[in-house]
């Protein structure tokens, strides 16, 4: 399945590149729709207009290719985040796999709630409880070992509603958008509250985004020599949280440029959108609003995962594009 997704993405990118003619840093439409999974409307047109504006050589809003930076949230923006974040599902499975070596977890929260399937108690543990789960299940191994654990889990795990691999539950319209931007000289980065080490093993295959262009939360690592070999070991200490106000900080530290376009779906992306758009020059902000309960999910202001409340109001005030998933997308997932 993952190999098919990789080939599908490659073909999509190739088609996008071959159906456009490049001139003066701008890709000119050769008659083929670059965003075929998007319905005609304001959302799609706003993307096309922005790209045309910043890629028109000699125009007042032209942006040199080196400065065409676009940042994307991951969960809920590029792939499904309900009924829980994918990395949370991974952490819960890790708790169950590691439980035999930790008999004390049977009586210790939030591990006890995970083992008993008590999602109510788990939710009540809040961010602190989830952080404890992540530190316990994502550490104690080398970086190479963790990469293999993630890769093996993604190869077998299935989404509880769609019964498909998580890597197949990416949003087809956003895959097209990534390819379209890159065909027009943009550098695309993922800036996610999820773990950077969790994402990097598969973002190139699934999105075409190289590991060095992924910014995320992280735990600490340390260098060791084992049996004459140099390794990096993951330790249960928090290093960086790439969420909310941490996202602009992460972009500044790892991308070293202010983006001209930002794409998100929740209040966790608010500061990233603000930092990207509330400055001089041509800027673009977009929020994916989940409104399609039949094909995916419908949620916003009261959701435990991917809550979209303050950022939804800010979108109106700042004139960000709001994508109505039900209205604006012909399809949700790749066919």
Is position 184 within any domain? yes
The pLDDT, as a whole number, for residue 309 is 98
**314 and 223 assigned to the same domain:** yes
Domain total in the chain: 2
Please give the helix or strand (H or E) that residue 218 lies within, else none: strand 214-226
User: Can you tell me the distance from the alpha carbon of 122 to that of 116, in angstroms, rounded to the nearest whole number?
Assistant: 10
Residue with tokens 């993307």: 47
**77 and 136 assigned to the same domain:** no
**52 and 199 assigned to the same domain:** yes
**55 and 76 assigned to the same domain:** yes
- Domain limits for position 138: 86-156
Q: In the structure encoding, which two tokens stand for residue 303, read together?
A: 């959701």
**76 and 90 assigned to the same domain:** no
The pLDDT, as a whole number, for residue 122 is 87
Report the candidate in 176, 152, 178 with the shortest Cα–Cα distance to residue 165.
152
Is position 164 within any domain? no
The pLDDT, as a whole number, for residue 155 is 97
DSSP lists the bridge partners of residue 322 as: 287
Last residue of a domain, one of 156, 186, 210: 156
Is position 97 within any domain? yes
Is position 162 within any domain? no
**204 and 307 assigned to the same domain:** yes
The pLDDT, as a whole number, for residue 126 is 74
Cα distances from 254 to residues 189, 198, 209, 216, 246, in angstroms, run 10, 17, 15, 10, 12
Last residue of a domain, one of 156, 186, 212: 156
Q: How do the pLDDT tens digits run along the chain, 335 residues long?
A: 444 444 554 444 444 444 333 333 334 444 699 999 999 999 999 999 999 999 999 999 999 999 999 999 999 999 999 999 999 999 999 999 999 999 999 999 999 999 999 988 887 887 788 889 999 999 999 999 999 999 999 999 999 999 999 999 999 999 999 999 999 999 999 999 999 999 999 999 999 999 999 999 999 999 999 999 999 999 999 999 999 999 999 999 999 999 999 999 999 999 999 999 999 999 999 999 999 999 999 999 999 899 999 999 999 999 999 999 999 999 999 98
Is position 335 within any domain? no
Please give the helix or strand (H or E) that residue 323 lies within, else none: strand 321-324
pTM of the model: 0.90
**73 and 96 assigned to the same domain:** no
CB 184 within 8 A of CB 68: yes
Residue with tokens 């027009």: 184
The pLDDT, as a whole number, for residue 169 is 98
User: Can you tell me the distance from the alpha carbon of 255 to that of 209, in angstroms, rounded to the nearest whole number?
Assistant: 13
Q: In the structure encoding, which two tokens stand for residue 190, read together?
A: 């993922």
CB 292 within 8 A of CB 76: no
Residues in the chain: 335
**188 and 309 assigned to the same domain:** yes
DSSP lists the bridge partners of residue 195 as: 217
Cα distances from 172 to residues 38, 56, 200, in angstroms, run 9, 27, 20
The pLDDT, as a whole number, for residue 7 is 53
User: Can you tell me the distance from the alpha carbon of 314 to that of 282, in angstroms, rounded to the nearest whole number?
Assistant: 18
Report the candidate in 77, 43, 70 with the shortest Cα–Cα distance to residue 323.
43
Residue with tokens 């709001």: 322
For 73, phi then psi, to 5°, come to: -65, 160
- The CATH number for 18's domain is 3.40.50.1000
**217 and 291 assigned to the same domain:** yes
**198 and 230 assigned to the same domain:** yes
Q: In the structure encoding, which two tokens stand for residue 165, read together?
A: 């691999």
Is position 161 within any domain? no
User: Can you tell me the distance from the alpha carbon of 71 to that of 259, in angstroms, rounded to the nearest whole number?
Assistant: 7
Is position 306 within any domain? yes
């Amino acid at each position: 399945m993952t190999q098919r997704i990789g080939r599908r993405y490659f073909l999509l990118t190739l088609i996008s590149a071959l159906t456009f003619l490049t001139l003066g840093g701008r890709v000119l439409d050769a008659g083929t729709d670059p965003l075929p999974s998007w319905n005609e409307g304001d959302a799609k047109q706003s993307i096309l207009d922005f790209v045309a504006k910043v890629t028109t050589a000699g125009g007042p809003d032209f942006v040199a290719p080196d400065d065409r930076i676009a940042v994307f949230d991951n969960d809920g923006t590029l792939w499904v985040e309900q009924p829980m974040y994918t990395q949370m599902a991974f952490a819960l499975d890790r708790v169950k796999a590691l439980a035999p070596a930790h008999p004390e977890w049977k009586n210790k929260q939030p591990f006890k709630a995970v083992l008993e399937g008590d999602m109510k108690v788990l939710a009540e543990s809040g961010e602190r409880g989830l952080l404890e789960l992540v530190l316990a299940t994502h550490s104690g191994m080398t970086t190479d070992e963790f990469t293999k654990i993630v890769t093996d889990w993604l190869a077998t795990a299935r989404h509880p509603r769609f019964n498909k691999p998580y890597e197949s539950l990416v949003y087809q319209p956003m895959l097209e958008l990534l390819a379209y931007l890159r065909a027009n000289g943009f550098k695309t980065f993922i800036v996610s509250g999820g773990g950077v080490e969790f994402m990097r093993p598969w973002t190139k295959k699934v999105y075409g985004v190289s590991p060095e262009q992924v910014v995320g939360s992280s735990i600490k690592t340390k260098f060791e020599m084992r049996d004459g070999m140099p390794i990096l070991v993951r330790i249960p200490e928090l290093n960086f949280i790439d969420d909310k106000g941490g996202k602009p900080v992460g972009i500044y530290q790892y991308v070293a440029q202010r983006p001209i376009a930002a794409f998100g779906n929740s209040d966790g992306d608010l500061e990233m959108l603000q930092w990207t758009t509330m400055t001089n020059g041509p800027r673009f902000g977009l929020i994916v609003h989940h409104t399609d309960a039949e094909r995916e999910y419908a949620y916003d202001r009261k959701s435990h995962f991917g809550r979209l409340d303050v950022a939804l109001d800010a979108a109106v005030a700042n004139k960000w594009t709001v994508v109505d998933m039900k209205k604006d997308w012909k399809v949700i997932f790749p066919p």
